[in-house]
Amino acid sequence: MCCFSKPVKLVANTNIFARAAAEGAQFLVYSMKLGAAEDVAMILPIPVPPRSKEEAVRFINLEKYDNFFDHLNDGFPVPPEIKATGRAGALGSAPALKVVEVGSFIASFVPSIEDFARLDEQFRLSTDVWDMLPQYKDWGFAVFQLKKGEKKIHPMAFEFPRRDPKKLFFPTVHIHDGSVPARAKFDHFLYCQVGAGSRLREWDESKKTAETFMRKLDEAKGIIDAKGHVYRKRMNGVFANRDVVV
């Protein structure tokens, strides 16, 4: 999902991981390469139960596991014949919101659209944008404040309560300079783990369990199920501009 408070020069190599957590919650990990001329906020709408409290989202520091997605990708070795050819498959006076230091950036959970008024103005989107996205009218938002420059962002991770504990959510809607196109260019790898006995059609499945390729499990802080397989889906091209739910 590319939803930024200001224009950015570059967004590429997006990776997102999702897994169910305890008591109906979900883990979400997000990483990308970003180029921005000034400090900017990335805003991720998340389907939390309506009127969730500010403490509902737990941010997780993965600064020491900056190669989290490199290791996930190691679970899907490229066959020798593909390696050889280089081809791969396809609110006014309201108190300010609490901010949390998460590695090299700070983050906030914004419980509702109205609560954006409690953030610094440079890290908000205009109300006109949210009017174009009525599906988010009673959602919450994870906001990460990022420094200017061009760099790979270390994984941004958090755990949030889901309104539908049977579904895994991937924030993939694109917002470009205040507009919401019907179709958008994607450069994404989506990863997830599902419950025992469940399988995802049209997703690649790792040949081995996660413990064999996630070589810094202690730094994953419980996000990864070591004994489970990992699924991967590539989205590279132009797709309908919407979130992915499995």
pLDDT value for 134: 93
What is d(CA 14, CA 93) in angstroms, rounded to the nearest whole number?
36
With a pLDDT cut of 90, the percent of the chain lying above it is 61
Ramachandran class of 197: left when φ > 0, alpha when ψ lies in -120 to 50, beta otherwise? left
What is d(CA 189, CA 45) in angstroms, rounded to the nearest whole number?
19
pLDDT of 228-243, one tens digit each? Answer: 999 999 999 999 999 9
Mean model confidence pLDDT for the chain: 89
Structural domain span for residue 198: 2-245
Q: Which residue has the higher pLDDT, 95 or 226?
A: 226
- Give the torsion sign (CA, 184, 185, 191, 197): positive
pLDDT of 36-91, one tens digit each? Answer: 898 989 999 999 999 999 999 999 999 999 999 999 999 998 765 544 444 444 34
Interval 190-212 mean pLDDT? 93
The closest alpha carbon to 17, from 238, 237, 221, belongs to: 221
Number of domains in the chain: 1
CATH number at residue 10: 2.60.250
Please give the C-alpha separations between residue 62 and each of 53, 59, 226, in angstroms, as whole numbers.
24, 10, 17
Query: Whole-model pTM?
Result: 0.88
pLDDT of 128-175, one tens digit each? Answer: 888 999 999 999 999 999 888 877 788 999 999 999 999 999 999 988
Alpha helix locations (H) across 20-89?
A: 68-74, 80-85
